[in-house]
Amino acid sequence: MGYDAADYERREEVAIRDGKTALAKAPWLFNRSRSETKGFFAEVKSHPALKDHFVAHCVDGIGTKLFLSAWSGNYRTMGRDGLAMNANDMATLIRAFPSEVNLYFAVQGGVEQEHMGEIMSGFVDALTAIRIPNAPWDVNIGKIETASLDEMISLGVAGKGWDVGVSLVGYIEKSLVPFLRPQPGHVIVGVSSTGMHSNGYTAARHVLLTPDIEPREEWKAQYQGRFSLHDKPELLQGRTILKAMLEATALYTVEAALIGRQFSNCDIYGINITGNGLHNFNRAGKGVSFEITDPLDPLPIHKLLVQESHWDPQTAYKKQNMGMGFAYVVPSLEIAEGMVRLINKRSENKAQIVGEVAKAREGETVLRTTLHKPYEGPALEFVGYNS
C-alpha cells in the first residue's frame, strides 16, 4: 500500500487523539499537572519534595531535518536543532531554568562509529549557547542512551540512519509561573527566526528536491521538486538549497531569562512558533483574539517554498514560521518597547512589535489569531490550535 507523506499531519492528529484516549483511563498520571499550563509548550508539574519550585518538562526531536545530515555529512548542527526545539519551548515560561537534558539515540552502525563525536559536539555548542548568566545552576547531562538499530532505521544512505529524542527538565519558582491570561490591550512582540528551524521538512524536501536525492524506490515518488542540494535559486541570494535548509534553529532561552529578570512581570509569556505555525498563539487565553498587524517578513527560504509548492498563504503560515520564530505577549507598550530594545541590542535575534491582544468577537468561544498583512492577499484567520 502506498504511503502519502503529505498526509502525515492528519495521521499525527489521529495518533494524538488515540494516545490521549488511552491515557485518560489512568487519570492519576496527571494528578500533579498544573491546569494553567495544560497544552502549553512546557508542562509544569508540582512535586511534594519541592517546596518553592515546580518542575518544567519538554520533549521533542529534530524530525526529518535529519536527512540533511546523511546527505551532507554535516552532523554537528543537528545537536543545536534538537536542543533548541526543547529549550525554546521552555523559554515560553520566561523564568524557568533548564536543569538536565536526556538523550536517546537510535542509530545505524556508520553513525555510531563515525559521527557520534560530531553530534555530541553540536549538543555541547547548544548547551553552551543557552547558559543563562548568573543562573542558579548549570545545565547538566542527565542520561544518554544509544540503541544500535541497523535493521530498523534508515535515512536512505547506507549506515547513516539515525534519530534522537531529547527531553529537557527545568525548574521554575512557584511565584514566577506566567499567568497565561492574555488581556485585551496586551502587546505582541515578534522575534525573528533563522529559517525553517526544525519544522515542515517533510513537505519542504518533497516540493524542493528532485527524486534523484532518494535512492529508495518506495519513496522516490514523494519528491516532486526541481532542485539539487547544491543549486542556488535566485530567491536564496547566493545560498545553496542545502545551506538554507541546514540553517540552525534560533535560540531564545537567554533572551527570555533576561526579559524575566529585567521586567519581572508574570503577565509576560512566550510563544514558540513551531509546527502548526500561527495556531500556536491559541494555546493560552480565554475570551481574546491575537491580532498580528505588522508581521516580520518571510525569509528567502520561505519565499522559495511558497514559489515551488504553490501553497496558499493560509497553508504557508501553518506549515512554516514565515520569519517569526518566537513571540511574547506583554502587558504594556512600555514593557514591549523595552523588550524590543533588549533583544535588538543583543543582536542575536531581531524583534519588533507585531500586534496586540483584542477582545474576542461576540459569541466567539474558540481562540483566534488573525494575520492582517500576509505576504499577499487578504487577512487570514487561524482558529483553535489543532485545526
Q: What's the CA gap between 197 and 6, in Å, rounded?
A: 19
pLDDT score of 4 = 56
Read off the pTM.
Answer: 0.95
Q: What is the DSSP letter of 52?
A: S
Q: What is the DSSP letter of 256?
A: H
Pick the CATH number of 187-201+248-383 from 1.10.10.10, 3.30.470.10, 3.40.190.10, 3.90.650.10: 3.90.650.10
Q: What's the CA gap between 140 and 172, in Å, rounded?
A: 16
Q: Maximum Cα–Cα distance for the chain, whole Å?
A: 61
Q: Is 104 exposed, middle or buried (0-12, 13-18, 19+ CB in 10 A)?
A: middle
Which grid cell is 260? 524575566
CATH 3.30.1330.10 positions along the chain are 23-174
| Residue 229 contacts residue 241 (beta carbons within 8 Å) | yes
Q: What is the DSSP letter of 24?
A: T
Q: What CATH number labels 23-174?
A: 3.30.1330.10
CATH 3.90.650.10 positions along the chain are 187-201+248-383
Task: List the one residue out of 58, 48, 68 whose CA is nearest residue 240.
Answer: 68
Tens of pLDDT, residues 333-373: 999 999 999 999 999 999 999 999 999 999 999 999 999 99
| Residue 134 contacts residue 84 (beta carbons within 8 Å) | no
Sign (positive or negative) of CA dihedral 257, 260, 266, 269: negative
pLDDT score of 1 = 35
pLDDT score of 174 = 98
Q: What's the CA gap between 325 and 251, in Å, rounded?
A: 9
Strand pairing of 53-61 and 43-45? antiparallel
Q: Is 40 exposed, middle or buried (0-12, 13-18, 19+ CB in 10 A)?
A: buried
Residues of the chain with pLDDT under 70: 1-7, 386-387
